Amino acid sequence: MKNIFKYIYVLMAVLLLASCDGFLDVNTDPNNPTSVSPNLILPVAQKYTANVIQCTDGGGRRMNHVGNLMMYNWSQTDGFSWYTDESKYLVTSSFYQYIFENSYSNSLKQYNLLTELDPMYDYYKAIGQIMKAYHFQLLVDFYGDVPYSEALLRGGNPAPKYDDAQGIYNDLIVQLTAAISTINNAPANVVTVGNDDIMFDGDMMEWKKFANTVKLRILTRQMSMAGRDAYIQAEFDAIVAEGSGFITSDVGVNPGYLEADEGKQNPLWNMMGTDASGTVTMNNNATCATDYILTYLQGTNDPRLNFIYEEPEDGHKGVPQGLLVYPDDYTFEYVSNIGPGILKSGAMDAIIYTLAESYLNQAEAAARSFISGSAKSLYEAGVQASFDYLGAGSASSYYGQAIPNVGWGIGDDIETIITQKWIAVNGITAEQSWFDYNRTGYPAGLPISLQASTPDRPVRLAYPSSEISANGGNVPSQPDVFSTKVFWGN
């Protein structure tokens, strides 16, 4: 019953905050009620965050989906034409364009309202700052230069300029530091945040940890760049000096998702699991493991296999991406669809940042001597966090194997970390492994689609056609989506 009321509360807030169609014109939106109480704005913004990472309530594909397809985790079963553009790497101005549009029109728009509140709402302001940084980093990682400094102005600028991607990265660290300071120096009469915060239930220490963990991701992304070591070291020193540390559990959004209520299920489950009546969705039937990922997990004796992918009666079977002529036994009954460790229930949290990624990012920082502590211990904690999320038990026997990219010290440590992160975010926040691949080239030997016309997968998304139409005077010339990496790529 509590979850029912919680979800109704969020739905009422969504209706109150319904806005017009333009996704960068937050400054010219008279229908958006800026005087709405922050406890109504916050859960709506957070629900939008879940939707743009996982998929929309209506079933639209978003960040996690494109990550799984670019990183050769998912393929399609016989009888479906679900992933035609993905198999051909047709990264055009209409390819996953809603990632850009929804980030600005939904999530960022609402979080920005929080940052404009009076000091008595400093906790809400800080949350708004942190989540804006979270979303802007994702936008940079997908697109490079994006509207930033002028994107959310409430004034007379419906056509914001594009800012330099690295400059945005630098300022995100500044904004996250400021958000932590805002929390620490909030006035005595500050309005506390409660269960309207559907991520941390108003625990401001958890918000400070999350801010540091977003910083960790930003800094990790730049570790392969020349000339950034001093900057990265100074920022890690500042995190240590601040003292709150990093997240200690998976970060998820849950407005009160319900197992079998139409329109109230977790968005990933709603799209890839079963509908409210218990009927398996077409997306579930259409989506399966690739042959490569199954062979990889089997070859390393990885117990997570049966949690990441469902095992058919006759054993695991994957489909090469881009396959055009299917054998008879490649229909959904015979292939490995998305598994029970990913699709837990309609009421599960919508994960936006895994604990496994946090530990593995820390492991890379330690391996590169940016932070103290044992890189090996952090690595093993990251692998265990992945096992824990999936329900796969103890990981010690797995990472104790003398197998490259499994056991610590068996081969290149950075490659081991990145390869394990690829597995850990599979099906959850897989866009992160795509970014890592563009940065490091790991996991090595990853195949490309059979329909690819290029020697490797794309390295970025293209600016959407809607933005080109609305803000064409500012949109940069589109970089080559196959060869022009975001600034942190190598």
Tell me the pLDDT of the chain (490 aa) as tens digits: 445 445 545 554 554 554 333 434 433 343 344 467 999 999 999 999 999 999 887 778 999 999 999 999 999 999 999 999 999 999 999 999 999 999 999 999 999 999 999 999 999 999 999 999 999 999 999 999 999 999 998 656 789 999 999 999 999 999 999 999 999 999 999 999 999 999 999 999 999 999 999 999 999 999 999 999 999 999 999 999 999 999 999 999 999 999 888 889 999 999 999 988 889 999 999 999 999 999 999 999 999 999 999 999 999 999 999 999 999 899 999 999 999 999 999 999 999 999 999 999 999 999 999 999 999 999 999 999 999 999 999 999 999 999 999 999 999 999 999 999 999 999 999 999 999 999 999 999 999 999 999 999 999 999 999 999 999 999 999 999 999 999 999 7
Question: Please, are residues 83 and 445 in contact by the beta-carbon 8 Å criterion?
Answer: no
Query: For position 263, what pLDDT does the model report?
Result: 81
Q: Which residue has the tokens 């790529």?
A: 489
* Confidence at residue 246, expressed as pLDDT on a 0 to 100 scale: 98
What residue segments make up the domains of the chain, in order of their start? Answer: 2-55+62-257+348-471
Structure tokens at 24: 């960068």
Say if residue 369 is exposed, middle or buried (CB neighbours under 10 Å; 0-12, 13-18, 19+): exposed
**pLDDT at residue 3, as a whole number:** 55
Indicate the CATH number for domain 2-55+62-257+348-471: 1.25.40.390
Phi, psi of 185 (to 5 degrees): -115, 25
In whole angstroms, how far apart are CA 235 and each of 175, 230, 371?
Answer: 13, 9, 10
- Please tell me the predicted confidence (pLDDT) of residue 153: 81
Would you state the structure tokens that stand for residue 143, as one six-digit string?
């697109």
CB of 28 closer than 8 Å to CB of 404: no
Residue 155: the pLDDT is 55
What local confidence, expressed as pLDDT, does residue 35 receive?
Answer: 63
Separation between Cα atoms, residue 340 and residue 119, nearest integer Å: 45
Instruction: Please give the pLDDT value at position 277.
Output: 86
pTM of structure = 0.94
